[in-house]
Amino acid sequence: MKQQSLSRCDVLAHSSEHKKGLRTVATLEFTKGVLVLAATFGFVEIIRKDIDLEEAAQNLLYFLHVDAAGRMMDANVATVLAIAFLYSGLRFIEAYGLWRTRVWAEWLAIISGAIYLPFELYSLIRRPTLAHWIILLINIAVVVYVAWVRWDEISARGSVPARFAEDGD
């Protein structure tokens, strides 16, 4: 089979086909980061106002239909906050890279999305709810789409680099 070589214009046009989809994924990742930050600041506000955290947590778990019987534990607030800020930071970095159509961000999206799939499947099997289905399906769609973008870029590459930095990396 003869491999087809693409011109620079063909490659740029091919890459721009994926730009809208990658920006949609970037918006989703940015939104996840914002939601985690909002929840974190809400958590800090609850602690500062001396609200009964155990009762608030029980109400939240009941609202989310999560059975936490026997799994409650004392968590260091600083550790929870640090993890939340790191997670949000990762989502923001990923969103920035996807918005700018960077290859490293595509790989980050594939890996970070795929890491959650076994946990989401376990949650779905253990307690099948509409929320678990929606989260799982969105995550699968994101991982498959970004993997397809990577595959499409690699297979279209030919002898010309698949993506030219329009404004530098």
Q: Summarize the chain as % helix, strand, coil (round to 5).
A: 75, 0, 25
Among 70, 64, 76, 74, smallest CA distance to 135 is for 64
- State the pTM of this model: 0.69
Per-residue pLDDT of the chain (169 residues; tens, 9 = 90+): 444 444 444 444 446 778 888 999 999 999 999 999 998 888 777 767 766 767 777 776 666 565 555 444 545 667 778 888 999 999 999 999 999 999 999 999 999 999 989 999 998 899 888 988 999 999 999 999 999 999 988 887 764 444 544 445 5
